[in-house]
A and B are shown apart, each in its own frame.
Chain A
Amino acid sequence: EDQVTQSPEALRLQEGESSSLNCSYTVSGLRGLFWYRQDPGKGPEFLFTLYSAGEEKEKERLKATLTKKESFLHITAPKPEDSATYLCAVRGGGSNYKLTFGKGTLLTVNP
């Protein structure tokens, strides 16, 4: 069974203070690792998909990287509007469609 563990559960940063979120996964035949952002009371918003170890994707202040066991979401010089829950999910070889999510990391960026 696919498993995703995210750490830390919560992270509080000062504006401009860079950091990283971790996503460790166990999957049989990775078909993709996905990062989503979720604001309170809203549905997840797609950020990135990574398919193979060594792959990197960037969007504004966010950069996602992938190894064979984990993914990192690096946040450079965050702003208060980056505050949200960041969810990591994997799609394994057992299903072409199902995403298995982690519990997320709640990021708070203080001005």
Chain B
Amino acid sequence: DTGVSQDPRHKITKRGQNVTFRCDPISEHNRLYWYRQTLGQGPEFLTYFQNEAQLEKSRLLSDRFSAERPKGSFSTLEIQRTEQGDSAMYLCASSSSGTARRGEAFFGQGTRLTVV
């Protein structure tokens, strides 16, 4: 499978715990995005990487959220001190410079986070 891979698919955590999600983009893609989606809503942009550089962050990304993309390969999204409002589907997408203008961002299956 050469698509975008996310791990884990599901995560249940207690309020106040830290969680980390991983995203492996399509291998030749240099652009990587994180979005968050709650029930009945469209995805909301969180952050964007070009190679290893984080170039844009949404105001939605509070200081409890941090994302990295070491060496421009896989990416991790960490949420510290989780709150019930963090419960959502976290989606990762990737694209290459050549296709970014056409908007062909390919999404992974997402990580469903439930904070109890």
Least CB distance from B56 to A in Å reads: 6
B2 interfacial contact with A, CB 8 Å? no
Least CB distance from B87 to A in Å reads: 15
Determine whether the beta carbon of B56 is less than 8 Å from that of A44: no
Number of A-B contacts defined by CB within 8 Å: 62
Least CB distance from A79 to B in Å reads: 23
Interface size class of A (residues with CB under 8 A): 20 to 34
Name the contact of A103 in the complex, choosing from B40, B93, B109 (C-beta under 8 A).
B40
Contacts of B45 in A (CB 8 A): 98-100
Which parts of B88-116 form the interface with A (CB within 8 Å)? 91, 93, 100-110, 112
Determine whether the beta carbon of B102 is less than 8 Å from that of A44: no
Determine whether the beta carbon of B91 is less than 8 Å from that of A32: no
Least CB distance from A59 to B in Å reads: 13
Contacts of B35 in A (CB 8 A): 99
Determine whether the beta carbon of B109 is less than 8 Å from that of A32: no
Closest 3 CB pairs of A and B: A101-B42, A43-B107, A49-B103
